[in-house]
């Protein structure tokens, strides 16, 4: 009761117009036992509803790009891709027509070329390796269902942490 008086006094001081309006208010009514029955009514509806499915959100271009990058830069995949690329490049060099002097691998066996490239992988242009690999690889296969969301998220975090600004600029 004291609180009601306080509220009304406060309102009267602030706005006599609204205080008057409050006095004129006609109280609204609800059916008897309405609030008692309401939780049951709502719960019955909830029970009949199918469990909400957690749909996979649609990825934007940045997420798709980074997913691709994260998959590509994942150590296991990266080694696989690099190895595959080495084989491709080695094959290209081996089969490339032209003079022996133009071909630095002339006279070497396929195994020797592969071994050389594996040891000196850092000297090869990354872009070239990726391009070579992408000729034969369908990236969508790698970014598909074999990686779950958690793995991709984790990878993305790691990749983002390791990427420096220059690489990011190149990616963009």
Partner 1 sequence: MQTPRTDISDENILQLLQNQSSAEHGFRLLMQKYQEQLYWVVRRMVQEHDDANDVIQNCFIKVFRSIHTFEGKSKLYTWLYRIATNEAITFLSQKKRKATNYIEDGELPLANQLRAEESVDGDALEQRLQEALQQLPEKQRLVFEMRYYDETPYEEMSELLDTSVGALKASYHHAVKKIETYFRAIEIGEL
- The mark string for 139-158 relative to partner 1 (x by CB under 8 A, - otherwise) is --------------------
**Applying CB under 8 A, which of residues 24, 56, 122, 161 lies at the interface with partner 1?**
24
| Residue 4, SS3 per DSSP | helix
Q: Is 118 in the site for partner 1 (CB under 8 A)?
A: no
161 touches partner 1 by CB under 8 A = no
CB of 50 to partner 1, least distance (A): 10
Q: Is 92 in the site for partner 1 (CB under 8 A)?
A: no
123, burial (CB in 10 Å: exposed 0-12, middle 13-18, buried 19+): exposed
One residue of 9, 32, 43, 63 binding partner 1 per CB under 8 A? 43
Q: Which residue from 9, 14, 64, 153 is in contact with partner 1, where contact means CB under 8 A?
A: 14
8 contacts 22 by C-beta, under 8 angstroms:
yes
Please give the Cα distance from 38 to 145 (Å, whole number): 44
Non-local (6+) Cβ contacts of 132 within 8 A are 85, 88, 89, 92
* Single residue of 9, 21, 62, 128 touching partner 1 by CB under 8 A: 21
């Amino acid at each position: 009761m004291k609180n009601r008086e306080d509220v009304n006094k406060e309102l009267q001081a602030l706005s006599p117009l609204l205080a008057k309006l409050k006095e004129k208010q006609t109280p609204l009514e609800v059916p008897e036992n309405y609030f008692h029955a309401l939780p049951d009514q709502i719960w019955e509806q909830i029970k009949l509803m199918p469990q909400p499915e957690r749909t996979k959100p649609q990825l934007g271009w940045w997420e798709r790009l980074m997913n691709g990058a994260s998959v590509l830069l994942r150590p296991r995949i990266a080694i696989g891709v690099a190895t595959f690329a080495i084989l491709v490049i080695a094959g290209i060099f081996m089969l490339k027509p032209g003079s022996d002097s133009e071909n630095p691998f002339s006279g070497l066996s396929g195994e020797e070329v592969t071994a050389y490239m594996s040891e000196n992988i850092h000297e090869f242009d990354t872009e070239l390796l990726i391009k070579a690999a992408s000729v034969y690889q369908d990236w969508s296969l790698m970014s598909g269902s074999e990686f779950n969301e958690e793995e991709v998220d984790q990878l993305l975090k790691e990749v983002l942490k390791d990427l420096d600004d220059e690489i990011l600029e190149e990616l963009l």
